[in-house]
Amino acid sequence: DTGVSQNPRHKITKRGQNVTFRCDPISEHNRLYWYRQTLGQGPEFLTYFQNEAQLEKSRLLSDRFSAERPKGSFSTLEIQRTEQGDSAMYLCASSQNKESQESTDTQYFGPGTRLTVL
Amino acid sequence: AQSVTQPDIHITVSEGASLELRCNYSYGATPYLFWYVQSPGQGLQLLLKYFSGDTLVQGIKGFEAEFKRSQSSFNLRKPSVHWSDAAEYFCAVGPVSGGYQKVTFGTGTKLQVIP
């Protein structure tokens, strides 16, 4: 078990540029989540995948944000035309659904990607 | 809608002293409850979780938490704090059912440990 990994760990970009982050979940986990965390706040849910299907998206996820999980393994989160308000830590988590489909699993988090938009 | 309140933004304790971090939740039934710890610049590490059964839950690093349904609370405790416990602690609540996963986090309590 190598844990959840995220790349890059830090990204500095200029306003208007596109950025893409990658998350590699724990290998046997079928669920994957993206969160955003700003200073002084807890993580806020962005989106969730079960295998390759994106099942839920938060209202926080504007049209500039897109997430994919091809083949149900790693996931990417892309932000187009970045704005200064996008500056945050982007956290990925994964879990293995062992109980009923509707139950809450224990989520394991990666180290995050810190985005700074200048 | 579910919600979590961590009333203490910042707590300072002396090394060796006991610790209690407060967490109150709002949910229509008994939810799933979690405590996570986050060191500076790092992701979140799960300390413990409550799904059902014994209301006193033991976690890693000597932490425990007690679920009190009557008070809608899930406070985190440690009998003797170590300097390495300095970090930010997040309480979280998740639905027992709902068709999808959505864990809601509190705003966190930052713990400072002084010698």
Each residue's pLDDT tens digit, B25-72: 988 777 889 999 999 877 899 999 998 888 999 999 999 999 999 999
**Among positive and negative, which fits the CA dihedral A105, A73, A112, A66?**
negative
What is the rounded average pLDDT of the residues B15-33?
90
Categorize the per-residue pLDDT at A60 as very low, low, confident or very high, splitting at 50, 70 and 90.
confident
Burial B48-83 (b: 16+ CB within 10 A, else e): bbbbeeeeebebeeebbbbbeeeebbbbbebeebee
| Cβ-Cβ contacts under 8 Å for B91 (sequence gap 6 or more) | B4, B6, B21, B23, B25, B33, B34, B35, B74, B76, B105, B106
Render chain A in DSSP notation, one character per residue: ----EEE-SEEEE-TT--EEEEEE--TT--EEEEEEE-TTS--EEEEEEETTEEEEE-TTS-TTEEEE-GGGS-EEEEESS--GGG-EEEEEEEE---S-TTSPPPPEE---EEEEE-
- DSSP state, residue B77: E
Categorize the per-residue pLDDT at A99 as very low, low, confident or very high, splitting at 50, 70 and 90.
low
Collect all residues of chain B within an 8 Å Cβ-Cβ radius of residue A44. Answer: 105
| CB atoms inside a 10 Å sphere around CB B29 | 9
pLDDT of residue B72: 92
Of A31, A41, A108, which has the smallest distance from its Cβ to B46's Cβ? A108
Categorize the per-residue pLDDT at B22 as very low, low, confident or very high, splitting at 50, 70 and 90.
very high
> Which of A80, A36, A29, A67 lies closest to A51 in space, CA to CA?
A29
Nearest chain A Cα distance for residue B23, angstroms: 13
Nearest chain A Cα distance for residue B26, angstroms: 16
Of A33, A42, A108, which has the smallest distance from its Cβ to B101's Cβ? A33
Q: Establish if A107 touches chain B: CB-CB under 8 angstroms.
A: yes
Q: Is the pLDDT of residue A43 over 60?
A: yes
At A117, the amino acid letter reads V
